[in-house]
Amino acid sequence: MDLGSNFSAKLEPFLLMGKSMRGAAAAKLIQDATAAPGVLVFSELLELPNIRELEKNEQYSKFYSLLQLFAYKTYEDYLRSKDSLPPLTTNQITKLKHLSIVSLASERRILPYDLLLNSLDITTVRELEDLIIDAIYQDILRGKLDQKEKQLEVEYTMGRDVQPEKLDDLLDILRNWAQTTSQVLAALDNKIHTISSNAAAQKVYQIEYDEALQKTLKDVSEKGGRHDRDKDRTYDRENAGGAGGSGSGSLGAARRKLFDRGGREERSGREDRENSMDVDEPYEPGNSSKSSKNRKASQESMKPVRKRNKI
Protein backbone atom coordinates (compact mmCIF):
# COMPACT_ATOMS: atom_id res chain seq x y z
CA MET A 1 0.00 0.00 0.00
CA ASP A 2 1.30 3.47 -0.89
CA LEU A 3 2.03 5.96 1.87
CA GLY A 4 -0.96 8.18 2.67
CA SER A 5 -3.41 6.17 0.58
CA ASN A 6 -5.80 5.69 3.54
CA PHE A 7 -5.52 9.16 5.05
CA SER A 8 -8.43 10.56 3.03
CA ALA A 9 -10.63 7.67 4.15
CA LYS A 10 -9.93 8.50 7.78
CA LEU A 11 -11.04 12.08 7.18
CA GLU A 12 -14.37 10.98 5.70
CA PRO A 13 -16.33 10.84 9.00
CA PHE A 14 -15.33 14.40 9.84
CA LEU A 15 -16.42 15.57 6.40
CA LEU A 16 -19.87 14.08 6.92
CA MET A 17 -20.28 15.74 10.29
CA GLY A 18 -18.88 19.06 9.09
CA LYS A 19 -21.66 19.46 6.55
CA SER A 20 -24.20 19.96 9.36
CA MET A 21 -22.16 21.63 12.12
CA ARG A 22 -21.80 25.35 12.71
CA GLY A 23 -20.20 27.65 15.22
CA ALA A 24 -18.92 25.98 18.38
CA ALA A 25 -19.70 22.51 17.03
CA ALA A 26 -17.63 23.17 13.94
CA ALA A 27 -14.76 24.49 16.10
CA LYS A 28 -14.96 21.33 18.23
CA LEU A 29 -14.91 19.26 15.05
CA ILE A 30 -11.65 20.93 14.03
CA GLN A 31 -10.10 20.14 17.40
CA ASP A 32 -11.11 16.49 17.11
CA ALA A 33 -9.92 16.15 13.51
CA THR A 34 -6.49 17.63 14.20
CA ALA A 35 -6.01 15.32 17.18
CA ALA A 36 -7.39 12.11 15.61
CA PRO A 37 -4.77 9.43 14.79
CA GLY A 38 -4.18 8.91 11.08
CA VAL A 39 -5.94 12.08 9.93
CA LEU A 40 -3.16 14.00 8.17
CA VAL A 41 -4.87 15.76 5.22
CA PHE A 42 -7.38 18.53 5.78
CA SER A 43 -7.98 20.45 2.53
CA GLU A 44 -11.41 18.90 1.94
CA LEU A 45 -12.48 19.88 5.43
CA LEU A 46 -11.23 23.42 4.87
CA GLU A 47 -13.41 23.72 1.77
CA LEU A 48 -16.67 22.92 3.55
CA PRO A 49 -18.92 26.03 3.69
CA ASN A 50 -19.73 25.60 7.38
CA ILE A 51 -16.01 25.43 8.20
CA ARG A 52 -15.16 28.41 6.00
CA GLU A 53 -17.69 30.49 7.92
CA LEU A 54 -15.46 30.22 11.00
CA GLU A 55 -12.77 32.33 9.29
CA LYS A 56 -15.09 35.37 9.50
CA ASN A 57 -16.25 34.61 13.02
CA GLU A 58 -14.13 36.53 15.51
CA GLN A 59 -14.79 34.02 18.27
CA TYR A 60 -13.91 30.92 16.29
CA SER A 61 -11.51 32.20 13.65
CA LYS A 62 -8.53 30.90 15.57
CA PHE A 63 -9.86 27.35 15.07
CA TYR A 64 -9.95 27.92 11.36
CA SER A 65 -6.34 29.14 11.58
CA LEU A 66 -5.53 25.98 13.55
CA LEU A 67 -6.92 23.87 10.73
CA GLN A 68 -4.83 25.81 8.21
CA LEU A 69 -1.77 25.22 10.39
CA PHE A 70 -2.20 21.44 10.21
CA ALA A 71 -3.02 21.53 6.52
CA TYR A 72 -0.12 23.65 5.25
CA LYS A 73 2.32 24.77 7.90
CA THR A 74 4.94 23.48 10.35
CA TYR A 75 5.77 23.40 14.02
CA GLU A 76 7.99 26.45 13.62
CA ASP A 77 4.99 28.38 12.32
CA TYR A 78 3.06 27.31 15.38
CA LEU A 79 5.79 28.55 17.70
CA ARG A 80 5.76 31.94 15.97
CA SER A 81 1.97 32.35 16.25
CA LYS A 82 1.02 30.18 19.19
CA ASP A 83 -0.51 33.11 21.07
CA SER A 84 -3.17 33.53 18.38
CA LEU A 85 -4.01 29.81 18.26
CA PRO A 86 -5.81 27.48 20.62
CA PRO A 87 -3.50 25.47 22.92
CA LEU A 88 -2.43 22.11 21.47
CA THR A 89 -2.67 18.73 23.10
CA THR A 90 0.20 16.22 23.14
CA ASN A 91 -1.29 14.28 20.24
CA GLN A 92 -1.69 17.46 18.19
CA ILE A 93 1.91 18.50 18.86
CA THR A 94 3.23 15.07 17.85
CA LYS A 95 1.16 15.09 14.65
CA LEU A 96 2.28 18.60 13.75
CA LYS A 97 5.92 17.60 14.23
CA HIS A 98 5.41 14.58 11.94
CA LEU A 99 3.92 16.86 9.30
CA SER A 100 6.84 19.27 9.75
CA ILE A 101 9.32 16.44 8.96
CA VAL A 102 7.35 15.74 5.77
CA SER A 103 7.63 19.42 4.77
CA LEU A 104 11.38 19.44 5.43
CA ALA A 105 11.81 16.23 3.44
CA SER A 106 10.11 17.83 0.44
CA GLU A 107 13.03 20.26 0.25
CA ARG A 108 15.95 17.85 0.85
CA ARG A 109 16.40 14.11 1.08
CA ILE A 110 19.08 14.14 3.77
CA LEU A 111 17.94 15.76 7.02
CA PRO A 112 20.68 16.34 9.59
CA TYR A 113 19.79 15.81 13.22
CA ASP A 114 20.76 19.40 14.07
CA LEU A 115 18.24 20.77 11.57
CA LEU A 116 15.48 18.56 12.91
CA LEU A 117 16.29 19.36 16.54
CA ASN A 118 16.07 23.09 15.88
CA SER A 119 12.98 22.92 13.66
CA LEU A 120 11.02 20.67 16.00
CA ASP A 121 12.22 22.25 19.26
CA ILE A 122 13.55 18.92 20.58
CA THR A 123 16.41 18.78 23.05
CA THR A 124 17.65 15.18 22.84
CA VAL A 125 18.58 12.88 19.98
CA ARG A 126 16.73 10.00 21.64
CA GLU A 127 13.45 11.95 21.61
CA LEU A 128 14.01 12.90 17.96
CA GLU A 129 14.69 9.31 16.90
CA ASP A 130 11.61 8.08 18.75
CA LEU A 131 9.53 10.68 16.90
CA ILE A 132 10.94 9.59 13.52
CA ILE A 133 10.42 5.89 14.27
CA ASP A 134 6.80 6.61 15.21
CA ALA A 135 6.31 8.45 11.90
CA ILE A 136 7.74 5.48 10.00
CA TYR A 137 5.37 3.08 11.77
CA GLN A 138 2.41 5.31 10.85
CA ASP A 139 3.45 5.25 7.15
CA ILE A 140 4.04 8.98 7.18
CA LEU A 141 7.51 8.52 5.73
CA ARG A 142 10.08 5.92 4.81
CA GLY A 143 13.72 6.35 5.56
CA LYS A 144 16.79 5.26 7.46
CA LEU A 145 18.32 6.65 10.61
CA ASP A 146 22.08 7.07 10.25
CA GLN A 147 23.27 7.38 13.82
CA LYS A 148 26.92 7.50 12.81
CA GLU A 149 26.43 10.50 10.52
CA LYS A 150 23.57 11.83 12.68
CA GLN A 151 21.10 12.26 9.87
CA LEU A 152 17.82 10.96 8.48
CA GLU A 153 17.95 9.60 4.93
CA VAL A 154 14.43 9.99 3.52
CA GLU A 155 13.25 7.60 0.83
CA TYR A 156 9.61 8.57 0.52
CA THR A 157 6.94 10.62 2.32
CA MET A 158 3.21 11.13 2.19
CA GLY A 159 1.88 14.16 0.35
CA ARG A 160 0.65 17.16 2.28
CA ASP A 161 -2.05 19.61 1.28
CA VAL A 162 -0.98 22.41 -1.05
CA GLN A 163 -1.82 26.02 -0.31
CA PRO A 164 -3.90 27.65 -3.09
CA GLU A 165 -1.35 30.42 -3.58
CA LYS A 166 1.39 27.84 -4.19
CA LEU A 167 -0.46 25.98 -6.93
CA ASP A 168 1.20 28.03 -9.66
CA ASP A 169 4.65 27.18 -8.29
CA LEU A 170 3.68 23.52 -8.16
CA LEU A 171 2.48 23.65 -11.76
CA ASP A 172 5.81 25.18 -12.83
CA ILE A 173 7.66 22.39 -11.07
CA LEU A 174 5.48 19.79 -12.78
CA ARG A 175 6.01 21.40 -16.19
CA ASN A 176 9.77 21.42 -15.69
CA TRP A 177 9.63 17.82 -14.62
CA ALA A 178 7.55 16.91 -17.67
CA GLN A 179 9.98 18.73 -19.98
CA THR A 180 12.99 17.05 -18.40
CA THR A 181 11.25 13.69 -18.66
CA SER A 182 10.51 14.29 -22.34
CA GLN A 183 14.15 15.15 -22.99
CA VAL A 184 15.30 12.02 -21.20
CA LEU A 185 12.83 9.88 -23.15
CA ALA A 186 13.96 11.47 -26.43
CA ALA A 187 17.58 10.77 -25.56
CA LEU A 188 16.71 7.18 -24.69
CA ASP A 189 14.81 6.78 -27.98
CA ASN A 190 17.81 8.08 -29.92
CA LYS A 191 20.09 5.74 -28.05
CA ILE A 192 17.80 2.78 -28.70
CA HIS A 193 17.60 3.73 -32.40
CA THR A 194 21.39 3.95 -32.62
CA ILE A 195 21.81 0.60 -30.92
CA SER A 196 19.22 -0.99 -33.20
CA SER A 197 20.90 0.45 -36.31
CA ASN A 198 24.30 -0.78 -35.18
CA ALA A 199 22.86 -4.20 -34.45
CA ALA A 200 21.25 -4.37 -37.90
CA ALA A 201 24.48 -3.27 -39.60
CA GLN A 202 26.44 -5.82 -37.60
CA LYS A 203 23.97 -8.52 -38.62
CA VAL A 204 24.31 -7.62 -42.31
CA TYR A 205 28.10 -7.57 -42.00
CA GLN A 206 28.06 -10.97 -40.31
CA ILE A 207 25.89 -12.43 -43.07
CA GLU A 208 28.19 -11.04 -45.78
CA TYR A 209 31.24 -12.30 -43.91
CA ASP A 210 29.76 -15.81 -43.58
CA GLU A 211 28.85 -15.87 -47.27
CA ALA A 212 32.37 -14.75 -48.28
CA LEU A 213 33.90 -17.35 -45.98
CA GLN A 214 31.77 -20.15 -47.39
CA LYS A 215 32.58 -19.07 -50.95
CA THR A 216 36.30 -19.03 -50.18
CA LEU A 217 36.15 -22.47 -48.58
CA LYS A 218 34.24 -23.79 -51.60
CA ASP A 219 36.79 -22.33 -54.05
CA VAL A 220 39.69 -23.80 -52.11
CA SER A 221 37.97 -27.18 -51.97
CA GLU A 222 37.27 -27.15 -55.73
CA LYS A 223 40.85 -26.15 -56.60
CA GLY A 224 42.22 -28.88 -54.36
CA GLY A 225 39.92 -31.43 -56.01
CA ARG A 226 41.02 -30.36 -59.52
CA HIS A 227 44.68 -30.59 -58.50
CA ASP A 228 44.19 -34.11 -57.16
CA ARG A 229 42.37 -35.16 -60.33
CA ASP A 230 45.18 -33.73 -62.50
CA LYS A 231 47.75 -35.67 -60.52
CA ASP A 232 45.71 -38.83 -60.87
CA ARG A 233 45.42 -38.36 -64.66
CA THR A 234 49.16 -37.67 -64.98
CA TYR A 235 49.93 -40.80 -63.00
CA ASP A 236 47.56 -42.85 -65.11
CA ARG A 237 49.13 -41.57 -68.36
CA GLU A 238 52.62 -42.41 -67.13
CA ASN A 239 51.58 -45.91 -66.14
CA ALA A 240 49.77 -46.35 -69.42
CA GLY A 241 52.89 -45.29 -71.39
CA GLY A 242 55.09 -47.75 -69.49
CA ALA A 243 52.65 -50.59 -70.08
CA GLY A 244 52.50 -49.86 -73.88
CA GLY A 245 56.28 -50.59 -74.30
CA SER A 246 56.37 -53.69 -72.14
CA GLY A 247 57.17 -56.01 -75.13
CA SER A 248 60.62 -54.65 -75.78
CA GLY A 249 61.06 -52.34 -72.81
CA SER A 250 60.54 -55.04 -70.21
CA LEU A 251 62.84 -57.42 -72.02
CA GLY A 252 65.54 -54.79 -72.40
CA ALA A 253 65.28 -53.88 -68.76
CA ALA A 254 65.59 -57.52 -67.74
CA ARG A 255 68.66 -57.96 -69.94
CA ARG A 256 70.28 -54.84 -68.51
CA LYS A 257 69.59 -56.07 -65.00
CA LEU A 258 71.15 -59.50 -65.77
CA PHE A 259 74.10 -57.84 -67.50
CA ASP A 260 74.76 -55.56 -64.56
CA ARG A 261 74.56 -58.44 -62.11
CA GLY A 262 76.87 -60.57 -64.25
CA GLY A 263 79.33 -57.75 -64.57
CA ARG A 264 79.38 -57.22 -60.82
CA GLU A 265 79.97 -60.96 -60.21
CA GLU A 266 82.76 -61.05 -62.83
CA ARG A 267 84.51 -58.03 -61.32
CA SER A 268 84.21 -59.51 -57.84
CA GLY A 269 85.71 -62.84 -58.97
CA ARG A 270 88.57 -61.11 -60.77
CA GLU A 271 89.43 -59.04 -57.71
CA ASP A 272 89.45 -62.18 -55.56
CA ARG A 273 91.80 -63.92 -57.94
CA GLU A 274 94.08 -60.93 -58.09
CA ASN A 275 94.19 -60.72 -54.30
CA SER A 276 95.12 -64.36 -54.06
CA MET A 277 97.96 -63.87 -56.56
CA ASP A 278 99.53 -60.85 -54.84
CA VAL A 279 103.13 -61.53 -53.76
CA ASP A 280 104.55 -59.23 -51.11
CA GLU A 281 107.11 -61.63 -49.60
CA PRO A 282 108.70 -64.97 -50.58
CA TYR A 283 106.65 -67.95 -49.61
CA GLU A 284 107.93 -69.95 -46.71
CA PRO A 285 106.40 -73.31 -45.90
CA GLY A 286 104.98 -73.58 -42.40
CA ASN A 287 104.79 -69.85 -42.02
CA SER A 288 101.49 -69.27 -43.85
CA SER A 289 99.82 -67.51 -40.92
CA LYS A 290 102.64 -65.04 -40.59
CA SER A 291 102.78 -64.60 -44.32
CA SER A 292 99.05 -63.88 -44.47
CA LYS A 293 99.29 -61.28 -41.74
CA ASN A 294 102.23 -59.56 -43.40
CA ARG A 295 100.43 -59.54 -46.70
CA LYS A 296 97.36 -57.92 -45.21
CA ALA A 297 99.44 -55.30 -43.47
CA SER A 298 101.32 -54.60 -46.65
CA GLN A 299 98.06 -54.29 -48.57
CA GLU A 300 96.62 -51.80 -46.09
CA SER A 301 99.73 -49.64 -46.01
CA MET A 302 100.09 -49.57 -49.80
CA LYS A 303 96.51 -49.35 -50.93
CA PRO A 304 97.05 -46.28 -53.12
CA VAL A 305 99.76 -48.17 -55.19
CA ARG A 306 99.56 -51.94 -55.20
CA LYS A 307 102.37 -54.15 -56.43
CA ARG A 308 101.36 -57.24 -58.31
CA ASN A 309 103.40 -59.92 -60.01
CA LYS A 310 101.82 -60.68 -63.29
CA ILE A 311 102.15 -64.20 -64.64
Interval 125-159: pLDDT, tens: 999 999 999 999 999 999 999 999 999 999 999 98
For position 262, what pLDDT does the model report?
Answer: 56
pLDDT at position 288 over 60: no
Rg from Cα positions in the chain: 59
With contact defined as beta carbons under 8 Å apart, do 19 and 51 qualify?
no
pLDDT at position 311 over 60: no
Per-residue pLDDT, averaged over 230-257, amounts to 57
Per-residue pLDDT, averaged over 6-29, amounts to 89
Number of residues that this document lists for the chain: 311
Task: Give the percent of the chain with pLDDT over 90.
Answer: 51
pTM of the model: 0.60
Q: What's the gap between Cα 63 and its chain centre?
A: 58
Q: Where are the beta strands (DSSP E) in the chain?
A: 110-112, 141-146, 151-157
With contact defined as beta carbons under 8 Å apart, do 101 and 132 qualify?
yes
For the chain, domain boundaries? 7-161, 164-236
With contact defined as beta carbons under 8 Å apart, do 33 and 51 qualify?
no
Confidence class of residue 105 from pLDDT cuts 50, 70 and 90? very high
Summary mean pLDDT of the chain: 80
For the ranges 65-69, 175-179, 236-240, 265-269, the lowest mean pLDDT is seen at: 265-269
Q: Using alpha carbons, select from 55, 45, 52 the residue that is nearest to residue 17.
A: 45
For position 169, what pLDDT does the model report?
Answer: 85
For position 173, what pLDDT does the model report?
Answer: 86
pLDDT at position 79 over 90: yes
Q: Using alpha carbons, select from 78, 51, 43, 75 the residue that is nearest to residue 159.
A: 43
Per-residue pLDDT, averaged over 44-54, amounts to 92
pLDDT at position 228 over 70: no
For position 103, what pLDDT does the model report?
Answer: 93
The amino acid sitting at 120 is L
Confidence class of residue 9 from pLDDT cuts 50, 70 and 90? confident
Task: Give the percent of the chain with pLDDT over 70.
Answer: 71
3-state secondary structure of 155: strand
For position 168, what pLDDT does the model report?
Answer: 86
For position 91, what pLDDT does the model report?
Answer: 93
With contact defined as beta carbons under 8 Å apart, do 79 and 121 qualify?
yes
Give me the residues paired with residue 48 across strands: none
pLDDT at position 304 over 90: no
pLDDT at position 289 over 50: no
With contact defined as beta carbons under 8 Å apart, do 32 and 65 qualify?
no
For position 137, what pLDDT does the model report?
Answer: 93
Q: Is 124 left (phi over 0), alpha (psi -120 to 50) or beta?
A: beta
DSSP state at residue 89: P
What is the rounded CA–CA span in Å between residue 14 and residue 70? 15
Interval 145-200: pLDDT, tens: 999 999 999 999 998 888 888 888 888 888 999 999 999 999 999 999 999 999 99
